[in-house]
Amino acid sequence: MTSTRSRLSGYAVVLLALALLGGLYTAVAAPKSKAEDPVNQSVEVEAGRQLYLQGCSTCHGLNAQGGAGGPSLIGTGGSAVVFQMESGRMPLARGSAQAPRKPVKYDRTQIDQIAAYVESLGGGPMLPKGKLDDGDLALGGDLFRTNCSSCHNFAGVGGALTRSKYAPSLTPADARVIYSAMQSGPENMPRFSDNQLTPDEKRAIVRYVRYVTHESKDPGGARLGHYGPVPEGLAVFLVGIAVCIVITLWIGARA
């Protein structure tokens, strides 16, 4: 072998080794790209934009900048969209002191698409991926009582606020609606940022709300609407006192 050929074959071996090593690394150990498949994401956003133009732009503006009928959605985040639309509050049927819950007009895919579109406009809070209701039940109860029960009642059946506003009952709300309500602070409800109530704490609260509105068994057997002292007092007066009066009348009557 001449010296030139041996040098060339040396280079070839090195190149082959590098290619082999690089290929193996890419196939096995290279980190997967974090970015969403850009084609899929823009399809979602575009689908959301079409739905938005159809059903929301009349009040919220062609570019979600707001209008006479509704505020700007730039920066409100996808979480607010999930809350408002999955509880049926949006699209709003008419103005009132507070948007009421009503039958939902869109399915979950469509809502997620509109949420993706609104999120793309200016960021804002967005629901995390994964389960939203697998938090610590006891912690959730503690946090619920401190932060939520003053307006929503100890068992989540809601309560009155000023001037025809109200904190609604939490019974019809599912995990996505509860989580997004805390994140987005709809209408007069305060916002609970992820710094204030961490995602774990929010999941704990969601778990507790679902529990107390659907699973908790009431000692005594009758929940009386979970409103507390008012229906209990009513039961005492309408049933208990009435029975006492009947007995009193019987005692005093002629045999």
Partner 1 sequence: MSDSIRDRLKATPEEPTLTSHGEHPVGDPTVSTHVSYHDDLRSDPRRAKRAEQAVAALFLLSVVGTVGFIATYVWWPFEYGEDGWEFYTPLLGIFFTLALTGIGAGAILWAKTLMVDDETIQERHLLSSSDEDKEGAVAILKEGLEDTGLPRRSLLRNSLLLGGGALAILPLPLVFSLGKFQHKESALAKTSWRKGMRLLDERGRPVKLGDVEVGGVKTVFPDIPGGRRMADSASLLIRMKPEDLHVQPDRKDWVVDGHIVYSIICTHLGCPVKLYEQQTHHLFCPCHQSTFDAADEAKVLFGPAARALPQLPITIDDEGYFVARSDYTEPVGPSYWERKPSYPDKVQ
Cβ of residue 160: shortest distance to partner 1, in angstroms? 8
Nearer to partner 1, 45 or 167 (CB): 167
SS3 35: coil
Determine contact, residues 158/170, Cβ cutoff 8 Å: yes
Cβ of residue 187: shortest distance to partner 1, in angstroms? 6
DSSP 56-118: THHHH-TTS---SSS---TTT-HHHHHHHHHTT--S--S--SSPPP----S-HHHHHHHHHHH
Cβ of residue 62: shortest distance to partner 1, in angstroms? 25
Nearer to partner 1, 53 or 137 (CB): 137
C-alpha 184/C-alpha 80 separation (Å) is: 5
Nearer to partner 1, 105 or 145 (CB): 145
Cβ of residue 142: shortest distance to partner 1, in angstroms? 7
* Alpha-carbon distances of 95 from 16, 35, 174, 177, 249, rounded to whole Å: 72, 41, 25, 22, 54
Q: Taking the CA of residue 180 as centre, how many other CA atoms within 13 Å lie in the half-sphere pointing to its CB?
A: 24
Determine contact, residues 89/99, Cβ cutoff 8 Å: yes
Nearer to partner 1, 48 or 77 (CB): 77
Nearer to partner 1, 142 or 174 (CB): 142
Question: Encoding tokens for residue 117?
Answer: 């579109």
DSSP state of 124: -
Contacts to partner 1 by CB under 8 A: 142-143, 146-147, 150-151, 159-163, 165, 167, 185, 187-193, 195-196, 217-221, 250-251, 254-255
First to last CA, the chain: 135
SS3 content of the chain, % helix, strand, coil (to 5): 55, 0, 45
Cβ of residue 199: shortest distance to partner 1, in angstroms? 14
Cβ of residue 129: shortest distance to partner 1, in angstroms? 22
Nearer to partner 1, 54 or 196 (CB): 196
Cβ of residue 118: shortest distance to partner 1, in angstroms? 18
Nearer to partner 1, 48 or 124 (CB): 124
